[in-house]
Amino acid sequence: MRMDRLREHREAQGLSREALARAAGVSAKTIEAHEYGRTTDVNVSIAFRIAAALELRLDDLFSAQLKAVTLKAVA
């Protein structure tokens, strides 16, 4: 699972990776790794902090297609 909309939301808010990282309490390398898909193992705590820093819901960081697949897998 990837936060494939992270970069889109960060850029829309005019934030640098470093500024978002500071606001979320994570490293800029962590933000970069998630933006470029170098990590697919999403730590829920980190995802919540990033979403909160961007003033988004957690699911806003993930694509609609991924949400549909996840819901189908659970059903």
CATH number of the domain bearing residue 65: 1.10.260.40
Domain count across the chain: 1
Domain with 26 in it? 6-74
pTM: 0.80
The verdict on residue 24 lying in a domain is yes
Sign of CA dihedral 31, 65, 43, 58: positive
Q: Write the pLDDT tens digit of every residue in 12-62.
A: 999 999 999 999 999 999 999 999 989 878 888 999 999 999 999 998 998
Cα gap 17→10, rounded to integer Å:
8
Instruction: List CB contacts of 7: < 8 A, sequence separation 6 or more.
Output: 35
The verdict on residue 1 lying in a domain is no
Q: CA 27 → CA 50, 64, 66, 71, 73, distances in Å? A: 11, 27, 25, 30, 32
Candidates 73, 50, 45; CA nearest to 61 is 50
